[in-house]
Amino acid sequence: MEELTERQKILLSLIVHEHTQTAKPVGSETLVRQYSLPISSATIRNEMTAMEEMGYLRQPHTSAGRVPTEKGYRFFVSNLLQQPMLPVATRNTITHQFYQAQQQLDEWLRLAASVLANHAQAASIVTAPHSKKVAFKHLELISTRASQVLMVLVLVGGEIRQQIFSLNEVVPQEKLSSLAAELNAHCQNCTLVQLEKLDLDLDDVGNIVLGVIKDQMRLSERLVIGEIYMDGLTNVLAEPEFADTEQALSALSIFEERNKLDDLLSRSFLGDEIGDVQVLIGGESTWEELRQCSLILSHYGIQDQLTGTLGILGPMRMPYGQAISTVRFVANLLSDLVAENLIE
């Protein structure tokens, strides 16, 4: 594989830059004019031809300007993009917003999605932190009416699961409370497996409750990702590449199919560390529907313990520098918030 020369790298950067601004193919003349280059348009044309042969650029049609290919963007992002921190002012604004919000996880996640969407002018997605190891933390049983019981189950990590169920008999609140107390005493930090092994001496009601607890823990275990927060879907519609509704539809449909989303967010992430920002350009993300799009994703939370995913979806022509910095910054912010409020 041939290497790009220094000059070609510069040109690639400029082409990417110009294209992200104008959304139109970039011509050799334009490039000279726009950036006052010390070389002639003819030279640029030669270089462009070379880069096209190497696969970094492509022409939408003969005698149009050049547009970066997937490979071109990939090279740009991996090798040419120096990632500036977000401007201090921006960072402060964002941080400020987080401290102004209700100090609650769901508010933070909603806000994170909103911040991502606004600062990157793209669709954003944030999943609630979720722990792979599901363990019992605390149980509460509340009698509602007749034989109906509301169970509130807190898992290690802070996930809260609730379930309403009926018993065969009416059980007074006192009995429920003492049952809860007993289970709380014995099951502290137990995983599902440990719970199975535990030899508890329970009566009928106790066993039903234990069954419900296990169900809920199983459910939580099976869950790949936590609750999903999205924002800025309309930003995508505003992009010129999606002026055709067909395109927009195929891109946004990803957001409406939960299992695809699960796949996308989990599979593409095998072995990624918290704090790494992953950029999926066009077809890299095996999803045909996203051929035109790029994804910028990052994990946040506490490695191997309690993690969520966040990121943005936009057209391949995306201000990667800005977008990546924003994703990284918000991911770190959420990681800090999760760490501060961790429930162990």
Partner DNA sequence: AATTAGCACTCTCAGCTCGAGAGTGCTAAT
Partner DNA sequence: ATTAGCACTCTCGAGCTGAGAGTGCTAATT
Give whichever of 63 and 168 is closer to DNA, judged by the CB atom: 63
**Angle, CA of 285, 288 and 289, to the nearest 5°:** 100
Residues 6+ apart with CB under 8 A from 253: 289
Give whichever of 8 and 325 is closer to DNA, judged by the CB atom: 8
Q: CB of 20: closest distance to DNA in angstroms?
A: 15
Q: Is 222 in the site for a copy of itself (CB under 8 A)?
A: no
Q: CB of 17: closest distance to DNA in angstroms?
A: 15
Q: What mask of x and - would describe binding to a copy of itself in positions 110 to 139, judged by CB under 8 A?
A: ---------------------------xx-
23-52: contacts with DNA (CB under 7 A): 25-30, 38-43, 45-46, 48-49, 52
Q: Is 343 in the site for a copy of itself (CB under 8 A)?
A: yes
Return the one option of DNA, a copy of itself, none that residue 342 interacts with (CB less than 5 to 8 A, by type). Answer: a copy of itself
DSSP-based three-state secondary structure for 276: coil
Q: Is 104 in the site for a copy of itself (CB under 8 A)?
A: yes
Q: Are 294 and 16 in contact (CB under 8 A)?
A: no
Residues in the chain, how many?
A: 344
Query: Strand 57-58 vs strand 67-68: parallel, antiparallel, or unpaired?
Result: antiparallel
Q: Is 101 in the site for a copy of itself (CB under 8 A)?
A: no
Question: What is the rounded CA–CA span in Å between residue 127 and residue 325?
Answer: 19
Give whichever of 140 and 263 is closer to a copy of itself, judged by the CB atom: 140
Report the interhelical angle of 320-340 vs 105-120 (nearest 10°).
170
In the list 46, 79, 92, 148, the residue contacting a copy of itself (rule: CB under 8 A) is 148
Residue 188 burial (CB count, 10 A): 12
Please count the residues of this chain forming the interface with a copy of itself, following the rule CB under 8 A.
42
Question: What is the rounded CA–CA span in Å between residue 251 and residue 265?
Answer: 15
Please count the residues of this chain forming the interface with DNA, following the rule CB under 7 A.
24
Q: Is 256 in the site for a copy of itself (CB under 8 A)?
A: yes
Environment class of residue 329 by beta-carbon count within 10 Å: exposed (0-12), middle (13-18) or buried (19+)?
A: buried
Give whichever of 169 and 244 is closer to a copy of itself, judged by the CB atom: 244
Q: Which amino acid is at 60?
A: P
Which DSSP string do the residues of 144-167 spell out, in sequence order? EETTEEEEEEEETTS-EEEEEEE-
Q: Are 318 and 16 in contact (CB under 8 A)?
A: no
Q: Is 315 in the site for a copy of itself (CB under 8 A)?
A: no
Return the one option of a copy of itself, DNA, none that residue 62 interacts with (CB less than 5 to 8 A, by type). Answer: DNA
Q: Is 245 in the site for DNA (CB under 7 A)?
A: no
Nearest alpha carbon to residue 19 among 58, 54, 55: 58
What residues line the site for a copy of itself (CB under 8 A)? 102-104, 137-138, 140, 142, 144-145, 148, 150, 152, 154, 158, 160, 162-165, 177, 181, 219, 231-234, 237-238, 242-245, 248-249, 252-253, 255-256, 341-344
What residues line the site for DNA (CB under 7 A)? 25-30, 38-43, 45-46, 48-49, 52, 59, 61-66
